[in-house]
């Protein structure tokens, strides 16, 4: 059932330009729309990005996990995102999503997500306490305790063997990849992870489609304009459809992001 936070329901017309060769919405476009719904909810408390930027502040996504139990919307469908806050924990904002296609009911529910965010200074990304930024009593008083996917998002751990055992590709961050903070947009990490998963599975998009059942991203370090990001992947033991992924700036000692994805190859 949908959450009680009705003002945070966003409805988005899925255009063919948002879709992959099978006419399903690209996951990174779904991610974009979901973040817009999140921002609509933040408007209720004066903490939209448009409110924060003049104050020298910004949102930073720490982790995001999605699970899909039904077919994704296709071109000309309406994507419906129910977004609500579960409150704060320390400096983190806990946010939940439920995804629907065309109408908000159990028959058209196709997935859910949980995410964790912080508010930081734009220049040096110094994290701030929520109470320093907003009316925290009103915010937590309005919270909906319902869990979209995870009560606590699992923590991913780096695995150096991925670079010896796995496969990888590189991507140089260009202007069109940047967000308003002049870093690689959070949706681009998802796009690059899906691209690597498709490469690893040797997907033939003319004959096959990649069905992603779940994906979990953990953001660690920002990636800047002009940097080359290497994305590696390897199978997990015991499940041929589950993969670990890691993105690391070329020459860096630490990863920029970690991911875990479950994806199947299905004939079109």
Strands (DSSP E) found in 159-238: 167-172, 208-219, 228-236
Are 67 and 106 contacting, i.e. CB atoms less than 8 angstroms apart?
no
Asked whether residue 43 carries a pLDDT value surpassing 60, the answer given is yes
In the chain, residues under CATH classification 3.10.129.10 are 6-141, 161-267
Q: Output the pLDDT for position 103.
A: 96
Q: Does domain 161-267 have CATH number 3.10.129.10?
A: yes
Q: What is the mean pLDDT of residues 33-41?
A: 95
The b/e string for 98-121 (b: 16+ C-beta within 10 A; e otherwise) is bbbbeebeeebbbbbbbbbbbbbe
* Res 32: pLDDT: 97
pLDDT in tens, 127-172: 999 999 999 988 888 888 889 999 999 999 999 899 987 679 999 9
Give, in words, the CATH class of 6-141. Answer: alpha beta
**Mean pLDDT over residues 168-191, rounded?**
96
Which among 130, 231, 133 is positioned nearest to 184, based on CA atoms?
A: 231
């Amino acid at each position: 059932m949908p959450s009680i936070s009705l003002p945070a329901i966003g409805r988005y017309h899925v255009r063919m330009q948002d879709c992959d060769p099978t006419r399903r919405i690209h996951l990174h476009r779904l991610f974009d729309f979901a973040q817009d719904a999140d921002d609509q909810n933040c408007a209720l408390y004066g903490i939209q990005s448009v409110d924060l930027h003049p104050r020298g502040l910004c949102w930073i996504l720490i982790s995001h996990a999605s699970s899909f139990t039904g077919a994704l919307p296709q071109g000309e469908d309406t994507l419906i995102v129910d977004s609500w806050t579960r409150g704060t924990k320390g400096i983190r904002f806990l946010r939940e999503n439920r995804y629907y296609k065309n109408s908000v009911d159990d028959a058209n529910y196709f997935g859910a997500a949980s995410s964790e965010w912080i508010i930081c200074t734009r220049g040096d990304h110094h994290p701030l306490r929520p109470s320093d930024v907003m009316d925290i009593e009103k915010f937590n008083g309005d919270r909906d305790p319902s869990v979209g996917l995870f009560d606590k998002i699992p923590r991913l751990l780096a695995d150096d063997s991925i670079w010896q055992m796995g496969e990888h590709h590189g991507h140089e961050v260009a202007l069109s990849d940047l967000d308003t903070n002049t870093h690689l947009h959070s949706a681009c990490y998802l796009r690059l992870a899906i691209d690597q998963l498709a490469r690893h599975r040797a997907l033939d998009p003319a004959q096959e489609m990649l069905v992603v059942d779940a994906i979990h991203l953990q953001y660690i370090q920002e990636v800047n304009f002009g940097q080359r990001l290497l994305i590696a992947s390897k199978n997990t033991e015991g499940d041929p459809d589950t993969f670990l992924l890691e993105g690391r700036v070329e020459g860096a000692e630490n990863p920029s992001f970690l991911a875990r994805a479950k994806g199947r190859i299905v004939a079109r």
